[in-house]
Amino acid sequence: MVKRKTCIFISGQGSNLKNLIFRSRDKNFPITISLVISNNKNALGIEYAKKYNIPYTYINTSCKNYENKILLNLKKYKISFICLAGFMKIISSTLINNYQGKIINIHPSLLPKFKGLNTFSRMLKNKEKNAGCTVHYVNKKLDSGNTIVQKKFTINRKDNEKILKKKTQKLEYLAFPEAIIKIFRNN
């Protein structure tokens, strides 16, 4: 099996990155993580890149032409697939055009509900019965690309934002690898 050279974009803890690194060590998993890009130089997830000897770079997304820096890094490491794992920046159309159909994102809600930020507080405020996560293709509209995998659970009356986040992350660790396998099994 030829593994696809993949870049993981992060902004924070990197728990999905850690999970994907672990999964990518399996010879039957279709990707190898060749680069980590963060828009937060203090992202804890960078520690996973260091620990597992994966090249990483910080890109200041408030600078002009940051997309060009991203594209140069992606070309340098021969990246053919991108996973957004808690990347808290909207992807530019330049990047989307260069990687059409090759960028996926994991979102902590059952899309199309609760696109964007603050999903857990909005779910509770809305008295939702179900929560979960969605892995989807990235297009030019926020959290609107075609769904690849969705996983859900029932919200309990005692659940708060912290509990919802923990339950959602458990599902994310299953959904993200499942989506990647599904994509490359179909190619």
Cβ(109)–Cβ(145) under 8 Å? no
In the set 57, 86, 87, 107, the catalytic residue is: 107
Closest C-alpha to 83, from 164, 165, 5, 170? 5
Neighbours of 136 (CB within 10 A): 22
Nearest-5° Cα angle at 149, 9 to 58? 0
Decide if 136 is catalytic. no
Positions of E strands within 28-140: 31-38, 56-58, 81-84, 103-107, 130-137
* SS3 at position 152: strand
Q: Annotated catalytic sites, by residue?
A: 107
